Chain A
């Protein structure tokens, strides 16, 4: 009972924050609302018994991606307030498409008889995840490290000042 109430509170926070991200006029407000949406998903991971993922969610998303996003917002936001009418294009079409996707998803979710199994919660999961990464999931794990390296080099290459070209101009 109490757990359900707390769950609904976190779910409401997540959806509300997502709505603010979608409909806020101010990019910084969207970024701060995204923080609460990500924290809500983190709370869902806690409810689902995924302790390692909850911590990873906070560390990577809130500590990394969100700081990066807010950094980019601060660097690029020349006009702080732009009207929502200028900011959102084709609102009716986008709203219709999203609502259709949502309706179909909800229909599928509630019509399908999910093959539920009673799983025992194995907490903490950190050791099992680490073991799986270095045994059965070793190739994706190593591949991901290469991907991160490539992304890092690529981001640095893209953002680099091209001094010689600008000097000749």
Chain B
């Protein structure tokens, strides 16, 4: 219990993933959904680093985590651009109010 091991990190990752899943599947605000996606990506990255530390030799897990962070940055940039474009056309960021492809 007092010795921090692999299962501690995996448990934390699972909790973060479940929270992110809840956010993505229940919130209406597109920006908050994006925050949930960030939580999910962070949970995956945390698992990679934990496995890298406890199960594997070398640095592969940390390298994959660098790519995860880069992909999250690219995803956030494009997603927020889409959100702002939607807001300009629909005056809302609630995803269930956006049900038309064009005006």
Cross-interface CB contact of A87 among B2, B16, B29, B67, cutoff 8 Å: B29
Chain B residues, CB < 8 A from A37: 16, 39, 42
Chain A residues, CB < 8 A from B84: 72, 75-76, 159
Number of interface residues of A (CB under 8 A): 81
Is there an interface contact between A21 and B57, defined as CB atoms closer than 8 Å? no
Cross-interface CB contact of B11 among A106, A119, A129, A148, cutoff 8 Å: A106
Bin the interface of chain B by size.
Answer: 35 or more
Is there an interface contact between A87 and B28, defined as CB atoms closer than 8 Å? yes
Interface of A is mostly: helix
Chain B residues, CB < 8 A from A106: 11, 14
Is there an interface contact between B74 and A147, defined as CB atoms closer than 8 Å? yes
Is there an interface contact between A154 and B81, defined as CB atoms closer than 8 Å? yes
Within 8 A of A (CB), among B43-82: 45-46, 49-50, 52-57, 59, 62-63, 65-67, 69-78, 80-82
**Interfacial residues, chain B to chain A (CB-CB below 8 A):** 2-12, 14-23, 25-29, 31-32, 34-36, 38-39, 42, 45-46, 49-50, 52-57, 59, 62-63, 65-67, 69-78, 80-85, 87, 91, 93, 96
